[in-house]
Amino acid sequence: MSKAKQDSAVHVYSVLTYYGLVPFIIASGSTKLKYAKYKYNTPGVRKDEYLDILSNHLIPQIRSIFDPRGIKFIFQQDGAPPHTAKSTQSWLKASDFEVLEFPPNSPDLSPIENIWKHVAQQLNKETVTSLPDFISALRVVWNRVPL
């Protein structure tokens, strides 16, 4: 992937389920994207933004897949600081779904890591010159992920 003149950090969140991938969401992290709700001067996604992504995007998407089927789901996430923040953990404990504990430093236990690797390999074949181009290319690659 050729780089734009000014690199941007893009944080992408999604969920892999038995039934497939859910649409991804772009978090602001430190990107300072104009359309992003959260804007920071520090790298990464903070706990308040992650909790917003989790409660308003990812979990509703998971529920839209599993609830109509009458199936309970088990949620798994890695040990990133926003995932292990007290506010996130409190929210998860108050939820009505099971959370699978994730051992520290174990990315090989996260099936979605293989998806991210595939996506990165495919994106490296693309030429993008702007963040919107990158997001468009990501959307195309994401929709073609073989499962």
**Residue 32 domain-assigned?**
yes
1 within a domain of the structure (yes/no): no
User: Of 121, 139, 119, which is closest to residue 131 (Cα–Cα)?
Assistant: 139
- 137, amino acid identity: A
Token pair in block for residue 114: 């293989």
**Model confidence band, residue 115 (pLDDT cutoffs 50, 70, 90):** very high
What is the rounded distance in angstroms from the CA atom of residue 20 to the CA atom of residue 18?
A: 6
What is the per-residue pLDDT across 51-60, written as a single tens digit (0 to 9) for each? Answer: 999 999 999 9
If residue 25 lies in a helix (H) or strand (E), which one and from where to where?
Answer: strand 25-27
pLDDT digits (tens, 9 = 90+) for 81-100: 899 999 999 999 999 999 99
> Model pTM?
0.81
Q: Is residue 66 part of a domain?
A: yes
Residue-range definition of the domain harbouring residue 86 = 11-143
Output the domain CATH number for residue 18.
3.30.420.10
Tell me if 3 is assigned to some domain: no
For residue 118, give the nearest of 16, 19, 6 by alpha carbon: 16
Residue with token string 């979990």:
59
Query: Is residue 4 a part of any domain in this protein?
Result: no
Count of domains in the chain? 1
* Residue matched to tokens 């941007």: 8
